[in-house]
Amino acid sequence: EEALERVRRGMYVMLREGSAAKNTRHVLPAVNEKNVRRFFFCTDDKHLDELVDEGSINYQVKLAIQEGLDP
């Protein structure tokens, strides 16, 4: 998986959930206790109507928890 390869190379990986790019559900399985500090939430470019309906980072945190990430 691309996310794990980036982590192995010392890079950070964005969990994106914006209007244009959405990869949170796809990347979350790569997150574990040892590498969690190499991942971060990014709202990317989110349209105003989505911000009003879903929120920003809070939406991503809720989504990650629903997908099984231990808070």
**Structure-derived torsion over alpha carbons of residues 27, 31, 36, 39, reported in degrees to the nearest 10:** -10
Q: For residue 46, what pLDDT is reported?
A: 85
Q: Tell me what the pLDDT averaged over the chain comes to.
A: 92
Q: How is the chain split into domains, by residue range?
A: 2-66
Instruction: Give 49's DSSP letter.
Output: H
Interval 4-29 mean pLDDT: 93
pTM: 0.83
Q: Each residue of 4-14: pLDDT tens digit?
A: 999 999 999 99
61 with 39: CB under 8 angstroms?
no
